[in-house]
Amino acid sequence: MKSGSDDTPIVGGTLHIKETGKTIATDASGFYALHLKKGIYTLLVSSLESKTENIKLEVLSDGRYDLELEPKLVALEEIIVSSEKEHIVRNNQMGYQKLVAKEVKEIPLVLGEADIVKVSLLLPGIQSVGEGSAGFNVRGSPTDQNLFIINQVPIYNTSHLFGFFSAFNSDAVKYFSLYKSNIPVNYGGRLSSIFDIKTKQGNKKNFSASGGISPVTARIMVEGPLKKEKSSYMIGVRSTYSDWLLKKVKDPDIKKSDGQFADVVTNFSFEINNNNQLELFSYHSFDRFNIVGQNKYEYANNGASLSWNHLIKERHSLQTSIVYSQYAFTEENSELKINSYKDNFELKHSEIKSVLTLRPNSKHSITAGFNSSLYMIDDGNFLPLNEESIISPIKLGQEKAIESGIFLSDEWSISPKLSLSAGARYNYYLYLGPQEVRTFVDDAPKSHENIVDTIQYANNEVVKSYSSPDFRFAARYIINDDLSVKLSYNQLKQYLFMLTNTIAVSPTDKWKLADYNIKPMLGSQYSLGIYKNVLYGKYEFSVETYYKTVDNIVEYKNGANLVVNETPEIDILQGKLKTYGVELMIKKSLGRFNGWINYTYSRAEVVVKSNNLEESINKGESYPSNYDKPNAFNVVANYKFSRRFSLSSNLVYSTGRPVTYPVGVFYQDDMELLMYSKRNEYRIPDYFRIDFSLKLEGNLMAKKFAHSTWILSVYNLTGRKNAYSVYFKSEEGKINGYRLSIFGVPIVSLTYSFKLGNYAN
Amino acid sequence: MRIKFKLLFIISIVFHGCIDPYSPTLSDYLNTLVVDATITNEPGPYIVKLSKSSTVYDPEFNPVSGARIVISDDLGNDETLTETEPGVYSTNFPGIQGIVGRRYSILIETEGKIYQSPFEELREPVTIDSVYPKVEYRGGLEGLQFYVDTKNVKENSKHFLWTLNETYKYEADEYPLEMVFVNKDSIYEPSYEYQELIKTCWKTDKMFQIFTSSAKNISEPQILNFPLIYVDTESKKLYIKYSLLVNQYSISEDAYRYWNEIKEQNAESGSFYTKQPFQVIGNIVNVNDPNEAIFGYFTVAGISSKRIFVDKPDLNFYFDVCKATHEAYVRWTNSDHPSYPVYLKFASGGLGKAGIGCFDCRMKGGKTNRPDFWID
């Protein structure tokens, strides 16, 4: 099934067969497969992007029937988040959201930057530690448990400007799927969620362009055919256009600072014939900052993928991809001349994967395949920055590992009411030399004193291997047309984690592989959900509950220094994370007034317990994780006055994150010092924010060269000073507490966007 | 090693973020034993302070009296300390003496519990090569940044803790004090000797800032250009003469870990990438219950010191100076004058009035007797 206007595949389109009452959906490449007896049928074909069509069909034998749908000219019934319209009750997915770029543009965001990935923070179960911080905490889990992939390419640093914006240009993104409960077997390696981002495929018929300008960035996306109806290109570029924001500030220190970021995506697609398609994609993002001439940061992601989609016998498909991704940063610090240093890091990820989808009959959809990734990490060198520096150079070593998985799953419609999905994934992980491995005295704390031996491993020699199966299971039972129950059980493994003991993700956080001493993390999650449509699908209700555990979660000894650490295993402790919660969501997709409301109650607790006190945190007692925010409430509302004028608003509330406060004062050498509570015993004040935006579309003439849109947005309308952190200082014999907030006033911004063609294109 | 205040600062200004006073309710109060004890190779007496922690918003020293405190060495010598003031215990002459190479431990018996530290070696002190200032700018103003060089770092003494004492000479802004109205009817004129006496003061302060460094990760076994305090030109400290006493303690690796953590916790403030604060564990444990949290450290150190003097540098100064104000003479003899006594001097032809702090340097915390070590 594809769109008649630009020949791009229609994903998640539906075919309803009147005579049998059955509904099926197209897959990620726009393919569908139907099993029908000979006879005459009426097909009702629809999708979000196109007009609904009635098609009379006479089935005589097996065959291929391509559908080309006319795009909807006027999206009067605009939908904001389409978690597969109509399917919330029928599909097998739980904890799943699909966000379509086209439809989230009204949502007000910081500095008017349309940011599809940041919109996910308004969905249930997704939080961040504070405003402008990088990373997402999905269901109370650390940020490194999320896998971000854009057209198969994993991205290891997903933010610009330290986290204020995501590193994905919304103009180039078509949609993204977010999995947080039952993660399909073809994904592995991360425990919490998969953010699977798909970019646009270039328009195969006509040249088209769109772009815009916001207070921070300028962006442009061009697309068009390489060879009409056969191949196309899409190129999206976004960049900061000046440092004017910093230069405006009178402070001389800030004038000396500068920052830049940019990202570029390209996507070329080739239709070799009806059964074979090729897609060549590349991604690049970079950030460069110079803070007061004393701290310099540069980081970049580079990646590419080549995917081949092959259709077998018109109903089975095989997708094979080769993927490469690289992430690197360098840091220069000259705050203190004698301690000035530079530090660098690089991670290279090469992967091959192949997924075969078989549809032997209408009752089964079988997915089988494998993927294998080679990780090469260079922890870099810690070097003196200049001659005055007394830092001695340290080479921090390299790591290498192969993570492979084979998988098989079957989605089985036992009856129209009951469907089951069961799958298994076998993970095989090899940690490879060259490597220097330290062994420690059994049952004693890992410390420098307890090192028994240092073993040298040769290049490609297996240092340690871990292998285990994951089982994943999901079931859906339709009680009646508008009500269903679903449950799922998921097992996952994670072999790669971020070395960080700061609360927010910082641009100098390194990734580390599971190794001889550090065990991989094991996750399992149970979820149960009830889904209901009311008033012919006008309102969608869902309630999802989950219980998730992670074994071997990585925590750090108090005060661990992770920047220069030749023996990270000594500072790493592994414990258990337990999270559970209920997510309620009401959504109205249709009409002038649409949006959603969600409420989440969730908890996240960590236990790090060992036989010795030195390797326990909080004396082995459970404590709230840094991401434990029990109550969260979000409202997203849009009102369309007319086709040209609309209004949107967000309301965001959450419990403050846990924090460790001082609970006493003591004196050492006449200095007044603070003693702290148990870890995360207190909370910073609750978070609350209202945003507001107005969107004005250009005129609605059908024949025009370009269409423009203005969006005026106000972030943090009430100017509430939400606490980012709370800290204490001893000043003149008194202890004073302070609250730091990032946005203390409403942030107003104006964004201009354009695209070639009229309003509807 | 993180983007600390600066990034935050930029974000604050650009996005109008801000730092506000905020005092959350802190219901828990950890009431634990605190030990503050040091033994060095310098002759005693060595002082041990024993206290209980206090609440955050009402900090005070809560002495623990009546404890039995014993310092012992690895050769079997020991001494029981005497309580000289509540919570302050002292060794006596000729009691135990810190000797380089020996190992020392402290034992504390209070409230029926026994606490002890492991034996720690008294490390050889390392000579400070030099302490020197350099002119540096902070926030657009000049000042002096002090540095220390310690070259002959020894294998056994490579972890350091520095504490600082500053002394500076300063003068009252207004000199001399010529007339005092005690009340509207009574005047006296201070003597010349008294005018001279209250003009010049010396103020000595212990710096509530600690500095730590270790030569462990350094290519050559020496510490060069290690920054100590910064003295700005917004106070009178450098205006006449300034002196800095640097005490350098050679400490064990564990003591270094402790003091470094104390330093970091003390310096850690609201930064964008903040670490979790945590309880800093010392080296004193309850013999019968190792889980009991005891705060403080029994520091065993070889100590060496260096004092330097710095003459008034050729810099611009930005401190406020008080100026006598002219007022009608009648006001000082008028019963309506809001406060007595009124302090006066002759200023540009008439009598000028100023607060006592402008005439008497002792009001700013200094003492008029010249310290023994002071060289003009």
pLDDT (average), residues A613-628: 88
- Per-residue model confidence (pLDDT) at position A75: 36
Contact in structure between A351 and A323 (CB atoms under 8 Å): yes
The closest of A167, A143, A164 to A155, measured between CA atoms, is A167
Q: What is the 3-state secondary structure (H, E, C) of A443-461?
A: CCCCCHHHEEEEEEECCCC
Residue B29: inside a domain, yes or no? yes
Pick the residue of A113, A165, A345, A665 with the most B CBs within 10 A to test the interface with B by mutation.
A665
Q: Would you state the structure tokens that stand for residue B278, as one six-digit string?
A: 């945590």
Same domain, A178 and A57: no
Residue A511: inside a domain, yes or no? yes
Closest approach of chain B CAs to the CA of A201, in angstroms? 37
More confident residue, A387 or A184: A184
- Per-residue model confidence (pLDDT) at position B334: 67
Is pLDDT above 70 for A155? Answer: yes
- Which chain A residue has its CA at the smallest distance from B138's CA? A253
Per-residue burial over A712-749, b = 16 or more CB atoms within 10 Å of its CB, e = otherwise: ebbbbbeebbbbbbbbbebeeeebebbbbbbbbbbbeb
Band the pLDDT of B1: cuts 50, 70, 90: very low
The closest of A338, A305, A326 to A199, measured between CA atoms, is A305
Integer Cα distance of A288 and A298 in angstroms:
4
Neighbouring C-alpha atoms within 13 Å toward the C-beta of B261: 24
The DSSP annotation for A183-233 comes to --TT--S-SSEEEEEEEPPPPSSS-EEEEEE-SSEEEEEEEEEEETTTEEE
Band the pLDDT of B285: cuts 50, 70, 90: very high
CATH number for the domain that contains residue A41? 2.60.40.1120
Contact in structure between A502 and A134 (CB atoms under 8 Å): no
User: Residues, chain A, total?
Assistant: 761
CA A717 from chain centre, in angstroms, equals 27
Q: Would you state the structure tokens that stand for residue A447, as one six-digit string?
A: 């410390």
Closest approach of chain A CAs to the CA of B336, in angstroms? 37
The pLDDT tens digits for A413-449 are 999 899 999 999 999 999 998 999 999 988 888 888 7
Residue A127: inside a domain, yes or no? yes
Residue B67: inside a domain, yes or no? yes
Interface A-B, measured as beta-carbon pairs within 8 A, has a size of 233
Partners of residue A245 in chain B, C-beta under 8 Å? 14
- Which chain B residue has its CA at the smallest distance from A626's CA? B276
Contact in structure between A118 and A166 (CB atoms under 8 Å): yes
Please return the burial class of A18, using the count of CB atoms within 10 Å of its CB with bins 0-12, 13-18 and 19+.
Answer: exposed
The closest of A171, A183, A258, A156 to A208, measured between CA atoms, is A171
Neighbouring C-alpha atoms within 13 Å toward the C-beta of B218: 23
Closest approach of chain A CAs to the CA of B30, in angstroms? 6
Partners of residue B10 in chain A, C-beta under 8 Å? 246, 249, 254, 257, 291
State chain B's mean pLDDT as an integer. Answer: 85
Residue ending a domain, choose from A57, A72, A87: A72
- Per-residue model confidence (pLDDT) at position A79: 36
CB contact under 8 Å between A676 and B273, yes or no, is no
Same domain, A66 and A109: no
Enumerate residues 6+ apart whose C-beta is below 8 A from A454: A436, A437, A438, A439
Closest approach of chain A CAs to the CA of B343, in angstroms? 29
Is pLDDT above 80 for B339? Answer: no
Residue A697: inside a domain, yes or no? yes
The pLDDT tens digits for A323-361 are 999 999 999 988 777 778 899 999 999 999 999 999 998
Residue B79: inside a domain, yes or no? yes
- Per-residue model confidence (pLDDT) at position A740: 83
Residue A270: inside a domain, yes or no? yes
Partners of residue B59 in chain A, C-beta under 8 Å? 665, 672, 730, 733-735
pLDDT (average), residues A539-553: 95
Same domain, A311 and A375: yes
Domain count along chain A: 2
Terminal CA-CA length for chain B: 41
Closest approach of chain B CAs to the CA of A599, in angstroms? 27
Pick the residue of B30, B32, B254, B259 with the most A CBs within 10 A to test the interface with A by mutation.
B30
Of A254, A668, A740, the CB nearest to B10: A254
Of B57, B220, B224, the CB nearest to A338: B224
Please return the burial class of B289, using the count of CB atoms within 10 Å of its CB with bins 0-12, 13-18 and 19+.
Answer: exposed
**SS3 category, A254:** helix
Contact in structure between A171 and A211 (CB atoms under 8 Å): yes
Integer Cα distance of A667 and A760 in angstroms:
70
User: What backbone torsions phi and psi does residue B156 show, to the nearest 5 degrees?
Assistant: -85, -10
Band the pLDDT of A313: cuts 50, 70, 90: confident
Of B14, B225, B276, the CB nearest to A246: B14
Q: Would you state the structure tokens that stand for residue B20, as one six-digit string?
A: 């506000």
pLDDT (average), residues A619-625: 91
Partners of residue B56 in chain A, C-beta under 8 Å? 662-665, 674, 728, 735
Same domain, A471 and A589: yes
Pick the residue of A663, A683, A720 with the most B CBs within 10 A to test the interface with B by mutation.
A663
CATH number for the domain that contains residue A398? 2.40.170.20
The closest of A448, A442, A620, A682 to B291, measured between CA atoms, is A620
**SS3 category, A401:** strand
CB contact under 8 Å between B29 and A663, yes or no, is yes
Pick the residue of A669, A682, A747 with the most B CBs within 10 A to test the interface with B by mutation.
A669
Per-residue burial over A115-130, b = 16 or more CB atoms within 10 Å of its CB, e = otherwise: bbbbbbbbbbbbbbbb
Span of A76-90, B7-21, B354-368 with lowest mean pLDDT: A76-90
CB contact under 8 Å between A670 and B265, yes or no, is no
Note the helical H segments in chain B. 5-14, 192-197, 253-267, 329-333
Q: How far is CA A695 from each of CA A108, A219, A432, A690, rounded to the nearest angstrom? A: 10, 18, 54, 17
Partners of residue B265 in chain A, C-beta under 8 Å? 673-674, 676
CB contact under 8 Å between A501 and B276, yes or no, is yes
Enumerate residues 6+ apart whose C-beta is below 8 A from A462: A430, A431, A432, A433
Residue A91: inside a domain, yes or no? no
Partners of residue A723 in chain B, C-beta under 8 Å? 22
In single-letter form, the type of residue at position B376 comes to D
Residue ending a domain, choose from A23, A57, A72: A72
Domain containing residue A63:
2-72
Residue A84: inside a domain, yes or no? no
Domain containing residue B113:
5-123+270-304
Same domain, A405 and A534: yes
Of A390, A506, A667, the CB nearest to B218: A390
Same domain, A428 and A575: yes
Partners of residue A243 in chain B, C-beta under 8 Å? none
Residue B111: inside a domain, yes or no? yes
CB contact under 8 Å between A744 and B218, yes or no, is no
Enumerate residues 6+ apart whose C-beta is below 8 A from A313: none
CB contact under 8 Å between A743 and B1, yes or no, is no
**Would residue B19 be called left, alpha or beta, if left means φ above 0 and alpha means ψ between -120 and 50 degrees?**
beta
Residue B86: inside a domain, yes or no? yes
CB contact under 8 Å between B22 and A737, yes or no, is yes
Integer Cα distance of A405 and A166 in angstroms:
29
Contact in structure between A646 and A695 (CB atoms under 8 Å): yes
Q: Residue holding tokens 């969107």?
A: A695
Of A291, A674, A681, the CB nearest to B265: A674
State chain A's mean pLDDT as an integer. Answer: 87
In single-letter form, the type of residue at position B38 comes to T
CA A561 from chain centre, in angstroms, equals 28
* Interface ipTM: 0.82
CB contact under 8 Å between A559 and B278, yes or no, is yes
Span of A192-196, B28-32, B254-258 with lowest mean pLDDT: B28-32
The pLDDT tens digits for B150-159 are 988 888 888 9
Peptide bond into B341 cis (omega under 30): yes
Q: Would you state the structure tokens that stand for residue A623, as one six-digit string?
A: 């404590």
- Within a 10 A sphere around the Cβ of B308, how many other Cβ atoms? 15
CB contact under 8 Å between A664 and B14, yes or no, is no
Pairing of strands A682-683, A671-676: unpaired
Domain count along chain B: 1
Contact in structure between A466 and A73 (CB atoms under 8 Å): no
Neighbouring C-alpha atoms within 13 Å toward the C-beta of B53: 24
Integer Cα distance of B107 and B111 in angstroms:
13
Is pLDDT above 60 for A738? Answer: yes
User: Residues, chain B, total?
Assistant: 376
Dihedral over alpha carbons B222, B224, B229, B234 (to 10 degrees): 170
Contact in structure between A110 and A121 (CB atoms under 8 Å): no
The closest of A22, A17, A24, A26 to A55, measured between CA atoms, is A17
Same domain, A531 and A658: yes
Q: Would you state the structure tokens that stand for residue A531, as one six-digit string?
A: 């889904």
Residue A761: inside a domain, yes or no? no
Pick the residue of A111, A345, A667, A725 with the most B CBs within 10 A to test the interface with B by mutation.
A667
Partners of residue B223 in chain A, C-beta under 8 Å? 390
Residue B202: inside a domain, yes or no? no
pLDDT (average), residues A460-467: 96
pLDDT (average), residues B205-217: 83
Same domain, A50 and A100: no
Of B2, B15, B24, the CB nearest to A661: B24
Specify which of A270-279, B137-146, B222-231 reaches the highest per-range mean pLDDT. Answer: A270-279
CB contact under 8 Å between B290 and A677, yes or no, is no
Q: Would you state the structure tokens that stand for residue B55, as one six-digit string?
A: 């609440």
Strand (E) or helix (H) holding A569: helix A568-571
Integer Cα distance of A165 and A159 in angstroms:
6
**SS3 category, A670:** coil
Band the pLDDT of A724: cuts 50, 70, 90: confident
Residue A81: inside a domain, yes or no? no
Give the E-state strand segments of A641-705 in sequence order.
645-654, 658-659, 662-668, 671-676, 682-683, 687-697
Closest approach of chain A CAs to the CA of B148, in angstroms? 12
Enumerate residues 6+ apart whose C-beta is below 8 A from A475: A418, A419, A420, A421, A486, A487, A488
Contact in structure between A325 and A156 (CB atoms under 8 Å): yes
Q: Would you state the structure tokens that stand for residue A749, as one six-digit string?
A: 């911004």
Pick the residue of A246, A383, A390, A657 with the most B CBs within 10 A to test the interface with B by mutation.
A390
Same domain, A45 and A165: no
What is the 8-class DSSP label of residue B13? H
Integer Cα distance of A600 and B205 in angstroms:
55
Integer Cα distance of A118 and A125 in angstroms:
13
**SS3 category, B261:** helix
In single-letter form, the type of residue at position B343 comes to Y
Same domain, A49 and A122: no
What is the 8-class DSSP label of residue B266? H
The closest of A630, A637, A634, A629 to A651, measured between CA atoms, is A634
Contact in structure between A418 and A477 (CB atoms under 8 Å): yes
